[in-house]
Structure 1
Amino acid sequence: MSSLLRRRKALLSIYSRSNGYTNESKPRGLTSAPPIEVGFTESAGRGVFATRRIGAGELIHTDKPILSHPSLSSIDSVCYFCLKNVASNVPFCSDECRQQSKIFYDTEKQADWSHFHEYCRTQGLKYPLLVKRLACTIISGAATPETLDILQPATLSSEMILLVSTSG
């Protein structure tokens, strides 16, 4: 089986496992599997593509996020788990969010992330806090290291291989 096909099957199996809705709890307007699929293109890499015509305003997918993290600008005004607005300097909106976040929150609090934040700032990285959250989720044992496989591009250019091999 080709690497591309294995990745596509892995992505689709992640989707099928991630949707926690029963027929009774499925959001109104979501009638079946979403009309989208993850695919790859030679020019742009991984993307989400429509599998049929999608009408204006049609609900195409809804699910609980696998991972979220507040931005530094909103970290004191939103729930650290679900990102709902909260009173200033209140980290969680509910006991449920506090419990759900224990998986990674305790691990996050054990480390000094200042060097990581500085590195990400100087490198202009777009979503370093999500990467930190994912790493803490894996370190805590709540997710397996294979979870990271979805982040890998289908192929690496020779320039990217050179960059990776010289940056270590």
Structure 2
Amino acid sequence: MLPLLRRMCNIHIHTRRKNPFLSICNGYANESIPSRLASPPPVQVGFTESAGRGVFASRRIGAGELIHTAKPIVSHPSLSSLHSVCYFCLKKLQFKNQTEASNVPFCSDECREESKIFYETEKQADWSAFHEYCRTQGLKYPLLVKRLACMIISGASTPETFDILQPATLSPGMILL
């Protein structure tokens, strides 16, 4: 059991994720593990009574130091970057995409293909009122919920995939009334 845990702690995966976009990661990816990264990440998952689960530094972290990367479970561009990043991987595009309002940009055919299942479901509804509400209210997380719902409806993901996002128990401090 200990060797398995040690291997799991040594996993470092590189992706093309950039800020300030929205994503939730599961810590796993189908990519090769770089051999030059042999030490465990300088973070640990902990629990606080007031906020629940969180990620905390386990040592001093230098500016610009890579501390963790993972393939996201779900991601969605912010409304302000909707036409300047890839709609799937969130990679910044060379030139701002001047497409029709109903189209979204992809950086590659691979990203277009990867998103095809849930994007076809997304296109079935008119999201303009939803996007406008999010924009006027300054909301960003509902965009992740939209993507998540479309992924489940389309069969791209199962509802069980997202169980990790829900704590097993909710303490009174975690519930806002």
> How far apart in 2 are the matches of 1:27 and 1:120?
42
CA positional deviation for 1:19: 3.4
Partner of 1:53: 59
> How far apart in 2 are the matches of 1:109 and 1:63?
27
Report the aligned-residue RMSD.
Answer: 2.9
> How far apart in 2 are the matches of 1:119 and 1:81?
22
Partner of 1:112: 126
Q: 1:70 aligns with which of 62, 77, 80?
A: 77
> How far apart in 1 are the matches of 2:125 and 2:61?
47
CA positional deviation for 1:116: 3.5
Question: What TM-score, normalized to structure 2?
Answer: 0.65
What stretches of structure 1 of length at least 5 have no aligned partner? 1-13, 164-168
Q: 1:36 aligns with which of 14, 26, 43?
A: 43
Q: What secondary structure sits across from 1:98 in the alignment?
A: helix
User: Which residues in structure 2 correspond to 1:71-86 (within 5 Å)?
Assistant: 71-86=78-93
What stretches of structure 2 of length at least 5 have no aligned partner? 1-25, 100-104
Partner of 1:11: none
> Relative to total residues, which structure has the larger strand share, 1 or 2?
2
CA positional deviation for 1:76: 1.5
> How far apart in 2 are the matches of 1:151 and 1:72?
23
Partner of 1:131: 145
CA positional deviation for 1:121: 5.4
Identity between Structure 1 and Structure 2 (%)? 69
Query: Residue 110 of structure 2 aligns to which amino acid in structure 1?
Result: E
Question: What TM-score, normalized to structure 1?
Answer: 0.68
CA positional deviation for 1:64: 2.6
Query: Residue 136 of structure 1 aligns to which amino acid in structure 2?
Result: C
Partner of 2:158: 144
Q: 1:55 to 1:114 in 2, by over 3 A?
A: closer
Q: Deviations over 1:140-168 (max 9, x none)?
A: 1111112332332441539948x6xxxxx
On the 8 A contact 1:104/1:136 being kept in 2, the answer is yes
Query: Residue 172 of structure 2 aligns to which amino acid in structure 1?
Result: S
> Relative to total residues, which structure has the larger helix share, 1 or 2?
1
| Higher RCO (C-alpha under 8 Å, 6+ residues apart) | 2
